[in-house]
Amino acid sequence: MKRIDTSGYSCPEPVLMTKRALKSSGQGLEVIVDNVASRENVTRFAQATGYSVGCVSEGSRWILTLTK
């Protein structure tokens, strides 16, 4: 599964990075985010495009697992 790190970016950049990565990954993706707004926006985008989203907290970051 492909993994992208969007730490340090503010919205909408994490959502745009996720969108680009999903086009090339196909089945799933792990997205690392470091703020609540990005976590919520990436989750909302993924769910709106048909992905299930799992979330694991890792210190001050979250790892979102997007699967079809």
Q: For this structure, is 11 an active site residue?
A: yes
Nearest of 20, 18, 33 to residue 66 by alpha carbon: 18
Catalytic choice (2, 5, 11, 21): 11
Helix or strand holding residue 23 (H, E): helix 13-25
User: How many residues does this entry show for the chain?
Assistant: 68
In one-letter notation, the amino acid at residue 47 is Q
Q: Which residues are catalytic?
A: 11
